[in-house]
A and B are shown apart, each in its own frame.
Chain A
């Protein structure tokens, strides 16, 4: 199909596209447009590869300036698969270009692999290992060999005919346009008698798509050779990249054992001999090399001359050799190793020193710095010299014309080690262990130079290429990757799988058949009862599940232990009665054999169980799709071996450098592995499989939440916390229901046809398209998490969220998305004039703020009255004002010690002070500096530090305005309700909730809400809020002078400043009650007061015309002729029908409060006052720290609102004017119209 995706023509080789694929393309396109990196998670079996290829090649077609697509895979079969899919895509694309003049645009795509996989030389390709093929090849193709063969044809020096053929062809030696798999390359090579390996190496410079292994991009040694010449505009894709951090680390880590040192010593010996020989025969060569070295590294052949054009030369050089920071690239090799003999002697000394380091009897842990210091002390070798080892050795090997590179592995390792140690002072650890921890009796000393920082190897890639795409089926929790790899993606998304039937069945088993918990926790794993429970479960599952079952254990040693115990208990024998048992071992050949037999057992119906290990080869690369894996069991949580010193060092580094907590990282890593294991069984949408997570720890949120969204989506509540017998019931039902024939055509429901996709894009708001967006919306939420930096892209600019989503049509041209809260909607054309627009904008923001300061006062007294905690005469909000003038006055909250409002003077005073102070301050330009927007806190006045991070600040602005808009509508409802029913809102709500016949509809609605809840979760960086606002060190109400706080206020709840002079909270139960009331009141207050000031302000500005704009008269207007037009504009909200208004009001309050009170939103174990896992559309609760900070802020605002609203009423009674009028009067003539001037005559009139 061919369709339009936001203006880009995309060619997709199938008739239908999954909604998640469409979404994936959208995200990818955004990243390409923004020329930034992106991080995308989409489950396997949804066609990730073809989606990637289809979009990026289409993008290349539309934007010729885009560079190559460099597609990195982990294995050769994957590489072949990618190329095969690309081939299909290209063939498909042809048909759309048949009638164009030039035919289809040609592309060249090829895979690149090692010589071992590409060689067609009859002798060389027979070699067993990769190293030996490389060495044999070099023997035939090294320049000096060929030179000599050319000079002395009669000496019969063997060369490679294919290589010579390619060289002989010169510029003719190239590939035609097309897609070449490795096999195709070999075929092409045979046909033309050219070497496919070197042909591929040559052609990647011209290719549009290159597919190769991770190492070619990440390993500095290889990437220097292969990936050096790629341009900056390339798009780099890392597929199946969930382990990318480990690949990066491995690329920069070196282990040295005593065998290595022995080999290195031998190598040095032969180097010496070789030098002697060359000295005798051809001393000129050595001298030449020396000269080169004197001139500096750059001039020699090892490093490329700096021929890069433009300013990005450094970045390119970086990629070429990230082990060499740029400053030393320009340096010359130090004098003491320039001469070959000196260098060899130097190496000898270094090896000797390493040998002394190996002779330890306990574990030694070092940093590179201290290692260098002791090196300097012991053998007087400088760090700077070490840095050049790798290049110096390469140069020497070249000079000596040594081709048997595989023999020199030892000395190469030592040189790698030296270079890395000399280069990096941070991000590495050197750990020397005398023996393996697990086998303490066998001495096996080892020096591990371990890279701790995954970002080191990948940094040059991010720096050099415009767009890097990291994608996999399991990247959860997705927000950790940018931190570990230290980059900032422009787009992060996790997409779900649309399924026509529930073919994924993840379950969490926490207890055995005897109800005792099962776990692989260290203290429980050897418990015979746990082992027996695990065994019984497996036997029962084997009897319930057909064909293949895969069981993953946390480690080899644990598997050995548990299997031998099962054998003793007779469980293994029982298991064998149902299915054959195969075991993965550390031996690759054995494992391959076991896998093969496992498959045969599944094929012939005998059924089999495969015991495997998380993090093993099988868990990483082997699929157990279809009948090979109907069920997968993950025994335990596959934590890394936590006593490993390298891991300890890495955790410490992560904590110090990236502020990643140890436990967070460990849990992340363990759950990532577990997800990887259980994900083995589902490889397509037609597949099905049961996934058993057998450990009580999976029940906990910190583990469960880290699972990918496409798993948690299917993790029903009834599938949690199971015991073995419950598991069997579920398994039996699942297997039966999956065996039923299913309508394959029904897959069509989760597919989009070409017409449907185009309809999506052209935003025709047809019913069909609306249904489609719903299905897309169902895919999208999962955990579409975003970095904070994403906010600016999300709510601002041309790609911001629009009021009708993709159907918003054309937004008015004057709405450019540069201000917060702009959803592109202005049907009434209010903002067409730029000046009016900015005025309105200001008004809206101010209104929204005041609204959020208001409505709590309305509901507080009534609620308290109802709950019996305080007693006022009449608790309804609109009668509270009158109480002030009664005998005894008005006690706020019925408690005279809080706010005793007997004195109207004091009340008015607080009101004027509050409003006057704040507004006056703002209008006069006081708080903000001149540079920044006067509406928002800036450098000068920002007590909460809101403006510190520009992105967070931008997001906060949007949120503020959103809340404010809600508040305006809500407050209006309050007034109308009061007029109609004569009751307060709470009374109405209670009535409403008390009579179930009326609540049914709302209950249904709320449930619906819960069903479609968009659980989008934004992720945020850690702040220190939890330390700041909670606990004993929180800020207290009088700062350092607060004295001792009451013992019952421990700072565990938000907004606790340790102040409770009246002793309201001494009783814990009352305290909890008050706390809840206060929070709810604060929330409602923030939804209110804007309605009070809006109409009046608008009236004053001449924007709109209402009869009387004062807030307390607005309600009456509804009953006048013509009704009440909101903002005087009938097209906005025309409140002529009191029924409609009431409906809105009921919906708003009933819906929200009813939902909350029913315990709907939050999970059971969470605080029911705050958003939790189940209902959190704004993603507030994702980061516990931010969340707790938000709680405090909410309460603060709410408290202010309670006081403020009270003031509004009093002011209304005294002046008979609206607050805005009072304010403008006050501001226009601060002398005459201040509190005292107004108050004096009025108070006399009242007779106070």
Chain B
């Protein structure tokens, strides 16, 4: 470090590459030295399990991965289910007294807001056509923090400024407020309320059952993520409105539960008639870039912006509603990003270890172009990580390595390529397309595409 300080002192003549290298070395060192790891967050000692002989052992990773796969599978299996693509979600954040407890570090409120920010980002990632609004429960009342809108940054910025806690929580007030806001959205929109509840009781001005009935009447789906324990009224509310009720056991679990709400839920039967949704695809500002214009509702002076095709108003970003004519303004990538929910990647089948023994390569039926260091082995088509026995044999002496390699291996049913667990989940969670299928030679690809088309034709209700 001293050397580096010296170079800095010398002036700007320093080579950028050198600095990069230094950083990379730093990072490598961080990866290698275990004691430098951040332990605060992952509580790895809590994951140790005690078997019936009192021996400690690391949790079975394969088991954990299987559980995660099961979740993915169930998402894939429900591919034929109609999903609400255009969602209007009111997120209620409970900042009552109970959110000030410190059983999650540093405070429940801090953890909740962190998770919520992540959720907001993921939500718009997954549902670019949808809108979201924030409501805060505090001192017995429900405050509207942000109106329904499509801008993650606006929500997050507002949320960061409002994290004081105190008073009671009132589910009824929150429900009334949200239902009121969701009442007016167009019928194709999917109405949802998602409540992050820290409190164990609700202090209501009236009968919450009436509000639940109203929500049900308005076809609002209410889901609750609890932080401490199962509260009967939440259970009933979610059951009646068709939502889900889950309770987090810790920070990690809370995040997982919240993010599971980012995927569009199955549409309740008979909620919306299939109708044409009017949307505008605005073009980028035709004027020369750099020409400033007043954009959007706030009339901010900005360079560029988009012009609504209907009323020629300027909006700052996409997707959004036109603040003048109310048209939904989207870009075509947004539609594409929503598309994968309708046509998910098929679930990969797990390959038993015994079956792997005789296989070399990545399992696909076309010549592969693997780098030299994996030829002659079984490897993952996605990342070239050696799979199965060979890897285990090589790393048997290193306990950690063999543990990591013991993960499960799966195979795409269409292109027959093998994937490691990490790639599998990456493909299903983020990529939404199988690279193996994409790279199939034309004659195979058409066959697969025809099969897919047949499948799609068999399920006309999609959409």
Contacts and interface: CB of A to CB of B under 8 A. Distances in A.
B54 interface: yes
Contacts of A1004: 53
A737 B232 CA distance: 15
A223 B226 CA distance: 56
Interface string B222-241: 00001011111110000000
Interface in A731-770: 732, 735-741
A791 B78 CA distance: 61
Interface in A531-569: 543-547
Contacts of A1007: 52-54
Interface in B189-213: 200-204, 207-209
B159 interface: no
Secondary structure class of chain A's binding surface, majority of residues? helix
B171 A546 contact: no
Given A545-B229, A605-B233, A739 B202 contact: no
Contact of B247 (A544, A626, A740): A740
Contacts of B103: 732
Interface string A128-140: 0000000000000
A579 B228 CA distance: 16
Given A547-B232, A739-B230, A605 B202 contact: yes
A1207 to B, nearest CB: 45
B53 A546 contact: no
A546 B201 contact: yes
A739 B247 contact: yes
Given A578-B201, A740-B249, A741-B246, A605 B229 contact: no
**Of B203, B229, B248, which is in contact with the most chain A CB atoms at under 10 Å from its CB?**
B229
Interface string B18-62: 000000000000000000000000000000000011100000000
A602 interface: yes
Interface in A809-834: none
A687 to B, nearest CB: 12
B203 A546 contact: no
Nearest to B234: A605
Interface string B169-201: 001000000000000000000000000000011
Contacts of B232: 546-547, 602-603, 605, 626-627
A439 interface: no
Contacts of A1062: none
Contacts of B98: 543
Interface string A1089-1104: 0000000000000000
Contacts of A1038: none
A546 B200 contact: yes
Contacts of B171: 605
A1011 interface: yes
B249 A604 contact: no
A679 B447 CA distance: 65
Contact of B233 (A544, A604, A735, A1011): A604
- Assign chain B's interface to a size class: 20 to 34
Contacts of B209: 604
A1004 to B, nearest CB: 5
Contacts of A630: 229
B52 A546 contact: no
A604 B204 contact: yes
Given A546-B201, A606-B202, A732 B246 contact: no
Contacts of B53: 1003-1004, 1007
A874 B209 CA distance: 87
B229 A735 contact: yes
Interface in B246-283: 246-249
A607 interface: yes
Contacts of A544: 200, 228-229
Interface in A559-595: 577-579
Chain B binding surface SS class: loop
B228 A607 contact: no
A736 B229 contact: yes
Contacts of A740: 247, 249
Contacts of A737: 249
Contacts of A604: 202, 204, 207-209, 233
Which of B98, B168, B204, B230 has most A Cβ within 10 Å? B230
A109 B349 CA distance: 58
Contacts of B230: 546, 735, 738-739
B249 A736 contact: yes
Interface string A711-728: 000000000000000000
B57 to A, nearest CB: 14
Nearest to A1011: B52
A603 B233 CA distance: 6
Contacts of A1008: 52
Contacts of A741: 246
A736 B204 contact: no
B233 A545 contact: no
A575 to B, nearest CB: 12
Given A547-B232, A604-B233, A605-B233, A736 B247 contact: yes
A1050 B418 CA distance: 79
B255 to A, nearest CB: 15
A230 to B, nearest CB: 46
A576 to B, nearest CB: 11
A737 B253 CA distance: 12
A605 B226 CA distance: 13
Nearest to A1003: B53
Nearest to B167: A577
Contacts of A577: 168
B208 to A, nearest CB: 5
Nearest to A741: B246
B201 A606 contact: yes
Contacts of A1003: 53
B204 A546 contact: no
B204 A739 contact: no
Nearest to B103: A732
B165 to A, nearest CB: 14
Nearest to B98: A543
A130 to B, nearest CB: 37
A735 to B, nearest CB: 4
Nearest to B54: A1007
Contacts of B204: 604-606
Nearest to B55: A1004
A543 B226 CA distance: 14
Contact of A739 (B54, B201, B208, B229): B229
Contact of B228 (A602, A605, A732): A732
B233 A736 contact: no
B139 to A, nearest CB: 13
Interface in B302-359: none
Contacts of A578: 200-201
Nearest to A601: B201
A545 B201 CA distance: 10
Contacts of A607: 200-201
Given A740-B247, A740-B249, A546 B207 contact: no
Interface in A580-639: 602-607, 626-627, 630
Interface string A995-1038: 00000000110011001000000000000000000000000000
Nearest to A579: B201
A735 B232 CA distance: 13
Interface in B126-161: none
Which 3 A-B pairs have CB atoms at the shortest separation, nearest pair first?
A605-B233, A735-B229, A627-B232
11 contacts: A543-B98, A544-B200, A544-B228, A577-B168, A604-B233, A605-B204, A605-B233, A736-B228, A739-B230, A739-B247, A1007-B54
Given A605-B232, A627-B231, A732-B228, 7 more contacts: A545-B200, A604-B204, A605-B202, A606-B202, A627-B232, A739-B230, A1011-B52
Interface of B: 52-54, 98, 103, 168, 171, 200-204, 207-209, 226, 228-234, 246-249
Interface of A: 543-547, 577-579, 602-607, 626-627, 630, 732, 735-741, 1003-1004, 1007-1008, 1011
